Each structure stands twice: as C-alpha cells, then as structure tokens.
Amino acid sequence: MIQDDPVEEISDIEERIERLTEIAERCRKYILASKIAISGGAALLLVTILGVFGFGQIAALGSIALVLGGIVSLGSNISTLRQTDEAISAAEARRAALIGSIDLRVVADAPLKLV
C-alpha cells in the first residue's frame, strides 16, 4: 500500500477506518445478543430445574445449548472487537503521521465583504 500521494493514502486510510468502525459496531451488537442469550438460557435452565412451568428435558437441553452458544459467540466477538480496535488505532496513528508529514499552509482570514 505504498503510494506517492499522501493525500490519497490518507483517504484510503480513512475508508479503512470507516470499514473497521462498522465491523466494531457489529461486534458490539453480537456481544450484546450473546449476553442476552446467556442470560436467557440460564434463566430457562433455572426455571426448568425448579420445575416452575413443567418444562421437560428438551427445554433443559435447549437452555444449555443457548448458554454454551452464547459463551462461544461472546468470546469470539470480544476477540474480534479487540483486534479491530487495535487495527483502528494503528490506522489512526498512520493517518496522523501522514497528516503531520504534509506541508500545510495556514490560510489567513480575509476581511468579509458585505454585499
């Protein structure tokens, strides 16, 4: 990804940051859904064990599967979120370095003309 024009590379980096931000947001949604699945599965398992509503063995197995699936999904998405956050930080640091390397000029304030 070596380019001659730092402005174009900055633009590419900003697009990458946007894509990574979308991935991170999606991971956060899956993490929330995983926590809900774990909580719901645990509650269903507790209700099944206590025999409150007379649910059978299928409900117990389903609740265990829900808890385990939620745990797996939670771990996977937390890992992906950490990696994505690190990639965003690296891209932002690269963008800042490129912006710092550009010879920027200050544009003086011109007096306003009222028409």
CA separation for the pair 33, 70 (Å, rounded)? 8
User: pLDDT tens digits, the chain, 115 residues: what are they?
Assistant: 455 688 899 999 999 999 999 999 999 999 999 999 999 999 999 988 888 777 788 888 999 999 999 999 999 999 999 999 999 999 999 999 998 888 777 777 767 777 6
In this structure, how many other beta carbons lie within 10 angstroms of the beta carbon of residue 26?
14
Q: Are 44 and 62 in contact (CB under 8 A)?
A: yes
CA separation for the pair 69, 39 (Å, rounded)? 12
CA separation for the pair 20, 26 (Å, rounded)? 10
Helix (H) or strand (E) holding 83: helix 57-101
Which pTM does this prediction carry?
Answer: 0.77
